[in-house]
Amino acid sequence: MIKDIFLPDLGEGINTVEVSEVLVKSGDTIKIDDTIIILESEKATMEIPIEFDGMVTDVLVEAGDEIKSGALLIRIESEASDVPKMDEQKKSDKEEITDENLSDSVTESITSVPLASIDSQTPVTVQNKVPFASPSVRLFSRELGADLSLVAGSGPKGRITKEDVQSFIKSVLSNNRSSQPGLVSVPVIDFSKWGEIESVKLSKIKRITGDRLQQAWQSIPHVTQFDEADITELDEFRKTLKSLNQNEKVKVSFLPFLLKAVAQLLKDIPEFNASLDHTGQNLVYKKYFHVGVAVDTQNGLVVPVIRNVDAKNFRELSEELVTISEKARGRKLLPDDMKGGCFTISSLGGISGTGFTPIVNPPEVAILGISRSKISPIFRNGSFQPRMILPYSLSYDHRVIDGAQAARFTKRLNLLLENFAELKGLGLT
């Protein structure tokens, strides 16, 4: 029979994607898992594989099209049965996020503002191949163009009711409205009046990144706390480790120390490991300690999340940072690799700067911005001494965290970095 191939749901937060390449044409014979199109979204490029063998009869999208989940991509003539196979759900999870040119070293990469791949606060929905809804509700959802697989059922045992579809549509509509709050129309300016210009279209990732940054900036009352840590001993220790491990693949950077210190502080001051729920009335404390690391790539920012940082030692964290960078280079970074973070670390230390104000990555409530360390004269034990000083900043959501807590956080971070022997579970004995 002829099958319509639709754009699958690409995950929370992705509304439209741009078709960057169409790899099939009418008459092509395609096999299961062949890539049919490549998309560009705010989360980098994505390959859409086909789930059936068959022959392409129609191609309904072309490069440059902006499409939504559920859009008709191609039609194929296929012998495949309609009965969902048991592993079909797994298969649809296989869409890989691929990031070209992710910088070689995650640990030493330069990051500007973290973004990307955050869990939104919409209620968790169970993705089911056959939605639990009666024929009339299925019709109603077609009328409204609602994707039932995204609708959470409120009826007995999770049945999707008409009201669920209505409130889903309402929430989508109001989200769309609030995504552009208080935008004032921008006057048309003829820049060429003052000299030669060139207009280049923003990349899809830049545009979506921009929207999300604006939303985070406008909806979160930010405060940024600045501080400095004395990492003289830590730096020396790192250099020693580096010389000892010269022949090994694992890179010895500051990042694993920072990750361990942050995980310890998230445990000690649980407000930093919390999120506001969708009502804004409740604080959700997380009992896990997943930390995102913002990474700059040519295509935009990605924030792979290191899970259970508290339970991993220095070597494991170093290796995982390498794995993630290889995964990204090998186009193997999965959407799940970038979800579920509790806190983000963003580092500009590789370039320059004495301090910056990073934007919180919602629904997280705080972000650490690392600047460039330098040797400074520090008055210590009665004299000025050359010390390695790391300037950094901590931006936080003032609805959740107050200034004293933030000051305590940076004070303790300083202590942990200065007395890194106190870091628990480094596994470096």
Partner 1 sequence: MERKTLHAEVVIIGAGPGGYAAAFRAADLGKQVTLIDKNTALGGVCLNHGCIPSKALLHLAKVIDEARGVSKHGIHFGVPRIDLNEVRDFKSKVVSQLSRGISQMAKARKVNVIHGTASFLSDTTILVSTSDGEIELSFDHAVIATGSSPASIPGLPKDHKHVMTSTEALDLVNIPGRLLVIGGGYIGLEMGTVYRALGSSVTIVEFMPNLLPGADQDLVKPLYRKLKKDFENIYLSTKVVSVDSQKNGSLKVSFESGDKAFSEIYDSVLVSVGRKPNSKSLGLENTRISPDNRGFISVNEKQQTCIPTIFAIGDITGDPMLAHKATHEGKVAAEVIAGLPAAFDAKAIPAVIFTDPEIAWAGLTETEAKAKEIPYEKGEFPWAASGRSLAIGRNEGRTKILFDPDTKRVLGIGIVGPNAGDLIGEGVLAIEMGADAEDISLTIHPHPTLTETIANAAEVFAGTITDLYIPPKK
Least Cβ distance, residue 388 to partner 1 (angstroms):
57
Residue closer to partner 1 by CB (options 144, 351) is: 144
Tell which one of 64, 90, 124, 157 touches partner 1 (CB under 8 A): 157
Among 19, 48, 61, 133, binds partner 1 (CB under 8 A): 133
Q: What angle (nearest 5°) sits at the alpha carbon of residue 172, between those of residues 169 and 174?
A: 110
Active site residue 398: yes
**Of 300, 299, 280, the residue nearest 213 (C-alpha):** 300
CA 156 to each of CA 20, 146, 148: distance values in angstroms, whole numbers, following the listed order: 43, 21, 16
Least distance CB 172 / partner 1 (angstroms) = 17
Question: Which alpha helices (DSSP H) does 127-187 contain, by range?
Answer: 135-144, 162-178
Question: Please, which residues bridge with residue 283 across strands?
Answer: 276
Among 27, 143, 190, 200, binds partner 1 (CB under 8 A): 143
Q: Which is nearer to partner 1, 136 or 247 (CB)?
A: 136
Q: How far is the CB of 90 from partner 1 (least distance, A)?
A: 14
Distance CA 260, CA 317 (A): 9
- Biggest CA–CA distance in the chain, Å, is 85
The first and second tokens of residue 116, run together, are 């990307």
Binding piece for partner 1, criterion CB under 8 A, among 1-9, 110-118, 243-251, 334-342: 1-9
- Residue span binding partner 1 (CB under 8 A) among the ranges 7-15, 139-147, 190-198, 324-332: 139-147
The two beta strands, 374-380 and 383-397, are antiparallel
Binding to partner 1 (CB under 8 A): which residues in 67-126? 75, 77, 81, 83, 85-86
- Provide φ and ψ at 88, rounded to 5°: -65, -40
C-alpha dihedral, 112 to 116 to 117 to 121, nearest 10°? 110
Tell me which residue has tokens 């934007």: 359
Catalytic one among 222, 278, 290, 398?
A: 398
- Copy the structure tokens of residue 203: 């990349």
Q: Does 130 bind partner 1 (CB under 8 A)?
A: yes
Instruction: Give least dist CB 1 to partner 1, A.
Output: 5
State which residue, 135 or 382, has the beta carbon closest to partner 1.
135
According to the binding rule CB under 8 A, does residue 411 interact with partner 1? no
Contact between residue 161 and residue 153 where contact means Cβ atoms under 8 Å apart: yes
Nearer CB in complex with partner 1: 140/254: 140
DSSP 273: G
Min dist. Cβ of residue 75 to partner 1 (A): 7
Q: Does 159 bind partner 1 (CB under 8 A)?
A: yes
In sequence order, what DSSP letters do the residues of 237-248 get, joined into one string?
A: HHHHHHHHTTTS
Classify residue 82 by its DSSP letter: S
Two structure tokens written together for 69: 């989940």
Interior angle at CA 100, CA 40 and CA 295, nearest 5: 95
Minimum Å distance from CB 335 to partner 1? 24
The tokens describing 228, both together, are 């400095």
Which residue's CB is nearer to partner 1, number 54 or number 341?
A: 54
Contact residue for partner 1 among 135, 182, 187, 382 (CB under 8 A): 135
Closest distance of CB 153 from partner 1, Å:
10
- Interaction between residue 25 and partner 1 (CB under 8 A): no
Q: Is 57 a binder of partner 1 (CB under 8 A)?
A: yes
Residues that bind partner 1 (CB under 8 A): 1-4, 57-58, 75, 77, 81, 83, 85-86, 130, 132-135, 138-139, 142-143, 145, 157, 159
Residues catalogued as catalytic: 398
